[in-house]
Amino acid sequence: MNGAVLNACPRNKRNGLRVVVGLMIVGLLSVALGWSASSGAFAAQIGTGAVSVKGPSSELVPGTTVEIRQGNCSGPAVWRTITGSAPAAYGAFGIGLAAGQYCILTLAVPSLYAVPATSLVEMKEGPGNWFTVWLPGPVSGALVAKDAGGNGVNGLSALIQEGPCAAPGGGVWQNTTATSRWSSGGFGISLKPGTYCSTAQSVPAGYDYPAPVETVVSAPGPVWITMWLAATSVRGTTDDVIAINATSMSQFVEFSCSDCVDNVILWALSDAGDRDLLINEIGAYPKGRVIVGFYDLDPIVYTQIAVQARGNWTMRVLDISSARHVSNQASGIGDDVVIFDRGGSVAALSHHGSANFIIWASDQNRGFGSDWAPIVNEIGDYWGRVPMGSPAIVQVSTNGSWEITTG
C-alpha cells in the first residue's frame, strides 16, 4: 500500500509523491466506482492536492510513513506512503481522493522526531487540498552574539542549560560563536520545546560578559537566541597604560574626560615601536572617537594605549563596524567616526568653532588599498562643498560643531 489508493491500484514504486500520480489514481477510481466522464461525477466528487510532513523548524521530513483512513481514525485505510527525498516533492506526496472526511495517521518517523497525534481533514472537490503533518522534535535555529551596533561577535563561548535562568538545570548545548558561510558571530542549535537559559562562559577581549538569556522554545521554529555584548569600559583618574589588540583601521578609541585639566594625550603603541597619536588636547575633552592607525599604509597591530590625563576619564575600544552608520547626513560635536552608506561624489561641510576642522575619508570597502584623503583642513568657522566619494569611512577631527551631507 505504497502511494496508492488501497484495493484500487497496484503499488507505485515512486511512492506516489507527485500530484500527477494522484490524478492517475483518480482515473482508476472513476472506473472502480463507476463514474462516467460524461455524467460529470468525476469532476464533482474528486479532490486533489498534497500532504507535506514538517518538523518543528518547518523543515520538510522525508522517510515518514503516513496512512490516510476514510472517515474517522477507525475507518478503512485508503492511502499509505513514505515521504521521499526527490527534489520535486521532498518530504511530501500527492493525493487524489473522493470528497469527504479523512484521518491522517503517522505510523513511523525518522530518528530525532516523535509520532504526532492523528488529525482529521476535510477533502474538498477539485484541486487545492493541501495538508501538513507536524512532527514533534528538536527546533533548529542559532545563537548569535552581537555588539551594540548589531554586528556579529566571534569568540563568545556560550552554555545552554535546561530550565529558567533562576534555576538552570543540566547543560544541553555549548559552542563558540564563529564565522560561517552565512554570517559571523553565531553557531547552530537544535533544541526540544521547553525553557532554556544561555550564559556566556568566556568573551573576546574588549567585551563585558552579557547577562544570561532565558528563551522559551516552541514549535514551529526556528529559534533565535541573541546575546548582546557591551564593550569593556576602562576608567581612571591619572596616567595609565591599557592593553589592547587593535589592527590599523579595524578599531577606534572612544574617550571622554569632562573635568580633565592640563594636557589630554593618547598614544596607540605597538610592540615594534610604532606610535599613533590619537588625541592631543588641553583641558576638558567631553567625548570623542578616533580610529586607531588610520594614517598607516600597512597594517600594524597595536598592543597598548598610553593615557596621559588628569581627571575622571573613561575609555572604550570598539570595532570599526560599531561606528555610527548614516545614509548621507551626519552632525555632531568634537572628534567622531562616521560611516556613510549611500553613494555620492560631493560633500557639503559646515563647521562652527575656533580650532582646526579636519575631515579625512576613505572608501570603506577597499581597506589599506585606499589612501585616506584629507577632504578639508581649516581653522575656525567653515562652509563649503568639496569632492568626496562615498560610501566612505570618515574621521572628523575638531572640538567644534559640524555637519556633513553627501550626494
Q: Phi, psi (5° rounding) for residue 204?
A: -65, 160
Over residues 14-32, the pLDDT tens digits come to 333 333 334 444 443 333 3
What does the pLDDT read at residue 280?
A: 95
CATH of 233-321 given 2.170.8.10, 2.30.29.30, 2.40.160.40, 2.60.120.1380: 2.60.120.1380
Given a contact cutoff of 8 angstroms between Cβ atoms, the answer to whether 1 and 77 are in contact is yes
pLDDT at position 140: 87
CA distance 284 to 194: 53
> Which of left, alpha, beta for 386 (phi over 0: left; psi -120 to 50: alpha)?
beta
- Non-local (6+) Cβ contacts of 252 within 8 A are 289, 290, 291, 292, 317, 318, 320, 323, 337
Task: Look at strands 223-228 and 139-146 and give their pairing.
Answer: parallel
pLDDT at 139: 86
Identify the band that residue 1 occupies on the pLDDT scale cut at 50, 70 and 90: very low
- Report domain 139-228's class: mainly beta
Cα distance between residue 236 and residue 256, in whole Å: 11
CATH 2.60.120.1380 intervals, the chain? 233-321
pLDDT value of position 320? 84
Q: What is the DSSP string of 274-290?
A: -EEEEEEEES-EEEEEE
pTM of the model: 0.56
For 323-406, CATH number out of 1.20.1180.10, 2.60.40.10, 2.60.120.1050, 3.30.465.10 equals 2.60.120.1050
Cell triple for 196: 532554556
DSSP, res 128: E
Say what the pLDDT of residue 179 is.
Answer: 82
More confident residue, 221 or 102: 102
What CATH architecture applies to the domain 4-134?
Sandwich (2.60)
Q: Average pLDDT of 305-316? A: 96
**Whether the Cβ atoms of residue 53 and residue 90 lie closer than 8 Å to each other:** no
Q: Is the peptide bond before 222 cis (omega within 30 degrees of 0)?
A: yes
Quote the Cα angle for 229-230-232, to 5°. Answer: 125
Interval 154-183: pLDDT, tens: 999 999 999 999 999 999 999 999 987 777
| pLDDT at res. 180 | 78
Cell numbers for 386: 568639496
Burial 191-200 (b: 16+ CB within 10 A, else e): bbeebbbbbb
Q: For the chain, give the mean pLDDT.
A: 86
| Segments of the chain assigned to CATH 2.60.120.1050 | 323-406
Q: Tell me where in the chain the CATH 2.60.40.10 domain(s) lie.
A: 4-134, 139-228
Q: Which of 28-37, 117-126, 147-156, 231-240 has the lowest mean pLDDT?
A: 28-37
d(CA 108, CA 105): 9
Residue 296's pLDDT is: 87
